[in-house]
A and B are shown apart, each in its own frame.
Chain A
Amino acid sequence: DSGVTQTPKHLITATGQRVTLRCSPRSGDLSVYWYQQSLDQGLQFLIQYYNGEERAKGNILERFSAQQFPDLHSELNLSSLELGDSALYFCASSVGPGLDGVHNEQFFGPGTRLTVL
């Protein structure tokens, strides 16, 4: 158990709908990362938050948004869903930036499997 929790575990919805994925980081971790794992794109970084602020953005679609709340949990919102958004969405957390450019380990949650029908 990594200490990172994600809900729900599975989500089945229809095209055009909107869903919210939730992540609670490990106790004490300030950074939260979201990754998407799909068969055709592999594992891709979406977005990172550090202590409530957006820190880095990857290949995140405009239909997707995220935020990190004062209690440090994070939510990933996916809207106008398309079939191609079906994937496993992982959240990871770390204590934050490391020293001398050596970043701290990221701990991954079990993921939310999204199926868009």
Chain B
Amino acid sequence: GDSVTQMEGPVTLSEEAFLTINCTYTATGYPSLFWYVQYPGEGLQLLLKATKADDKGSNKGFEATYRKETTSFHLEKGSVQVSDSAVYFCALSGRDFGNEKLTFGTGTRLTIIP
């Protein structure tokens, strides 16, 4: 079945550091890929998405590129801020009819220190 493997956390960085959170997936066909973010005490928010190979999703300075050859969707940000502290989830959904569920990775807790 579908699965997502995500970089183990927690990750602690200083403000303005470069961020990479690794994500690889296993799925049949060509899934859609997502990064969700969960701030303390809140639900999940979609951060960015990509729906086909070589697509780049971007939002709020975060980027991720859909790499079919390496089955990866790594999250990057050039300069992190304290407000980026949260838990980040990589996820996929299949393309089959009736297969819209999201399959999530384990989540990576990110803490940014001033």
Contact = CB atoms under 8 A, between A and B. Distances in A.
Contact of A58 (B93, B96, B98, B101): B101
Interface in A59-77: none
A70 to B, nearest CB: 21
Give the size category of B's interface with A: 20 to 34
B10 interface: no
Interface of B: prevailing SS = loop
A48 B101 contact: yes
Contacts of B101: 33, 45, 48, 56, 58
Nearest to B106: A42
Interface in B19-70: 30, 32, 36, 41-46, 49, 51
A86 interface: no
Given A42-B106, A42-B107, A43-B107, A105 B98 contact: no
Interface string B80-111: 00000000010001111111111111110000
A52 interface: no
Contacts of B98: 55-56, 97
Q: Which of B44, B94, B100 has the most CB of A within 10 A?
A: B100
8 contacts: A33-B102, A35-B102, A43-B89, A43-B107, A45-B102, A101-B97, A102-B51, A111-B43
Interface of B: 30, 32, 36, 41-46, 49, 51, 89, 93-107
Interface of A: 2, 4, 31, 33, 35, 42-45, 48, 55-56, 58, 90, 92, 94, 97, 100-103, 105-111
